[in-house]
Structure 1
Amino acid sequence: MDRIQAAGIVLPAAAMPKALYVPYTLHRGLLTISGQLPLQDGKPVFVGKVPGAVSVEAAQAAARLCLANLLGWVAAAVDGDFERIRGIVRVGGYVAADPGFNDAPLVINAASELLNRIFAERGRHARLALGVASLPFGAPVEIEATFALDA
């Protein structure tokens, strides 16, 4: 999709996780992508809690990387045919937050803005943005999403 490239996103190659879950499920036209971390080549790019160890700006960059990884799984699930996406049902964003940090939505906005830019009207979505005590591998952000697909 041209808008993905225009947004500066490089879709990663899909590599199956080494854990007891699948990266996505497809059920009755709903594609749910498991939570994605800010990893590149299987390694964390950002580590730590927001805003102490990771600035809000860096956490927003981490959210965009999570989204790139998420879209890589979307591409795998739809065989690269992003036109099958009718809309985005829901995005869940989790921010590893220092005590007293209340701006998780500001961090997750970076991913929401990208989705709206890439998918235009189809990118509008319901959302959850939460601050949490910790995330896998010390990541500052994790994002999951559910998409509605054409048959």
Structure 2
Amino acid sequence: MTGMIDARLAELGVVLPDAPAPAANYVPFVQVGDLVFVSGQISQGPDGLIKGKLGADMDVAAGAEAAKRCAMSLLAQARAACGGDLDRITRVVKLTGFVNSTADFTDQPKVINGCSDFLVEVLGDAGRHSRSAVSAAALPLGVAVEIEAIFQVK
């Protein structure tokens, strides 16, 4: 039987990727009580890493799409943490978004909106969250965006 969140993803035509394996010496998520802390997920799509620097070779719309792909990976990790049942998510508590951008680029919040908007579209009010959106001079592997999340689960 498909859960409500899986049904919503299907309605949107979204297939989540498999939960990405860690790229270094860390775990993809840690659960403490009813909170699941998901490690930073980098921007990657079906064709590989989404690389670029906002303000140089990537515009806000492309950055927001990269952030949406991070959201999909965050949900994939949350699914793994919840034993495959996304309906255990009761709330997205916090996002921290890092944007690979030039020194004069100031639209980091608009880029991270790609993640925030997607989570609200999928989870409704449970997807509303606190957030930080910050610039980074560089990100791992040259990706455009990296986002970490805290989920509350039941």
Percent identity of the aligned residues? 38
- Partner in structure 2 of residue 34 of structure 1: 39
Alpha-carbon distance change, 63 to 87 in structure 1, aligned in 2, over 3 angstroms: same
Residue 93 of structure 2 corresponds to residue 89 of structure 1:
yes
1:6 alignment partner, one of 3, 11, 19: 11
Deviations 1:70-91 (A, max 9, x none): 1111111112211211111101
> Aligned equivalents of 1:67 and 1:5: distance in 2?
16
> Aligned equivalents of 1:52 and 1:121: distance in 2?
35
The runs of 5 or more residues in structure 1 that have no matched partner are none
Secondary structure of residue in 1 paired with 2:27: coil
> Aligned equivalents of 1:42 and 1:76: distance in 2?
22
2:141 alignment partner, one of 129, 137, 144: 137
> Aligned equivalents of 1:42 and 1:26: distance in 2?
31
Superposition pairs for residues 120-131 of structure 1, below 5 Å?
Answer: 120-131=124-135
Aligned residues: 149
The runs of 5 or more residues in structure 2 that have no matched partner are 1-5
- RMSD value, Cα: 1.5
Which amino acid in structure 1 is aligned with residue 79 of structure 2?
A: A
Alpha-carbon distance change, 107 to 19 in structure 1, aligned in 2, over 3 angstroms: same
Which amino acid in structure 2 is aligned with residue 77 of structure 1?
A: A
Runs of 4+ in 1 over 3 A off after TM superposition: 40-43
Q: When the two structures are superposed, what TM-score results if normalisation uses the length of structure 2? A: 0.90
Which amino acid in structure 1 is aligned with residue 40 of structure 2?
A: G
1:105 alignment partner, one of 106, 109, 128: 109
Which amino acid in structure 1 is aligned with residue 75 of structure 2?
A: L
Q: When the two structures are superposed, what TM-score results if normalisation uses the length of structure 1? A: 0.92
Quote how far apart the aligned CAs of 1:93 are.
Answer: 0.7
> Is the CA contact 1:24–1:33 (under 8 Å) kept in the aligned structure 2?
yes
